[in-house]
Amino acid sequence: MNRLENKIAIITGGAAGIGAATAIKFATEGAKVIIWDLNEEKGIALASEIGADFDKVNSANYMEVEKGAKNVYEKYGRIDVLINNAGITRDSTLKKMTPELWQQVIDVNLTGVFYCTKIISEYMLMNNYGRIVNASSVVGLYGNFGQTNYVATKAGLIGMTKTLARELGRKGITVNCVAPGFIATEMVAAMPENILDGMKAKVPIGRLGLPEEIANCYAFLASDEAAYINGATISVDGGMTV
């Protein structure tokens, strides 16, 4: 089943983790994938493996996003899908959090999504069609100790998604949000076993999620099957927020 046949899809932070799983999923669903990431080595290797394009784009840099989007449009004549997946953490309690730690996360996780959405939606408007999916987190719904900056961005994306859905929906562009729970990325898998066991204990189905399971949700929301879903935040967390 090729739900994304011939769709032109940009995936930010697409070189590793959930982003890489999404790039692979989209390619198997027939999309032409453009991976944006700062990790050239992983990005180029993955792009070569799945027949995608890679461009070193910092989503927190307006000019780089502008140039990257223009390159995609000039090559393919349209942009159909934007997956705002890029994100970073700089965890610290409020007492220890510096202005630099705060700003770094805001720049990538929130401002970067604004830049990408603002610029790429203009190309989508040319065809009155688009699918935009933002990566929030379950912590954006209920908060998390030591993550004031990260939680602020992920909660902000939920509100941004609702507003953009109202503004762009009537013009053929849907905007939705996915809130992953504890996902077994390489970074998470490297945590101590007792920490992982504690994370699993909080999940009703008793395990961590797989990057592919988030990618599946992204692919559904990017497809025409989800044409009447707009402004939603879908938790993919094994029931953590029940």
CB 67 within 8 Å of CB 74: no
Q: Which CATH number fits domain 8-235: 3.50.50.60, 3.30.390.50, 3.40.1640.10, 3.40.50.720?
A: 3.40.50.720
Hey, which bits of 81-172 come out as E strands? 81-84, 130-135
Structure confidence by residue, pLDDT tens digits, 147-198: 999 999 999 999 999 999 999 999 999 999 999 998 988 767 766 788 788 8
Catalytic residues: 150
Find the farthest-apart pair of alpha carbons in the chain and give their distance in angstroms, rounded: 51
Using DSSP, state whether 128 is helix, strand or coil. Answer: coil
Structure confidence by residue, pLDDT tens digits, 6-59: 999 999 999 999 999 999 999 999 999 999 999 999 999 999 999 999 999 999
Q: What is the mean pLDDT of the chain?
A: 95
Residue 65, token pair as written in the block: 């996003």
CA atoms within 13 A on the CB side of 220: 14
With a CB cutoff of 8 Å and minimum separation 6, the contacts of 97 are 148, 149
Domains of the chain by residue range: 8-235
CB 148 within 8 Å of CB 156: no
Distances (CA, A) of 132 to 26, 143, 192: 14, 24, 35
Residue 230: is its pLDDT beyond 80? yes
As a whole-number percent, the residues of the chain with pLDDT over 70 amount to 98
pLDDT at 188: 73
Residue 215, token pair as written in the block: 């990618």
Structure confidence by residue, pLDDT tens digits, 57-114: 999 999 999 999 999 999 999 999 999 999 998 989 999 999 999 999 999 999 999 9
The residue-averaged pLDDT of 210-218 equals 97
pLDDT at 1: 65
Q: Per-residue b/e over 14-48, b at no fewer than 16 CB within 10 Å?
A: bbbbbbbbbbbbbbbbebbbbbbbbbeebbbebbe
- Residue 135's identity, in one-letter code, is A
The residue-averaged pLDDT of 208-220 equals 97
Question: Of the candidates 134, 225, 226, which has an alpha carbon nearest to the alpha carbon of residue 180?
Answer: 134
**Which residues does residue 33 pair with via DSSP β-bridges, in sequence order?**
9
Residue 127, token pair as written in the block: 């065809």
User: Looking at beta carbons, which pairs linking 166-173 to residues 24 or more positions away fall under 8 Å?
Assistant: 166/231, 168/121, 168/124, 168/125, 168/130, 168/132, 169/230, 169/231, 171/125, 171/128, 172/124, 172/127, 172/128, 172/129, 172/130, 173/121, 173/124, 173/125, 173/128, 173/129, 173/130, 173/131, 173/132
Residue 216: is its pLDDT beyond 80? yes
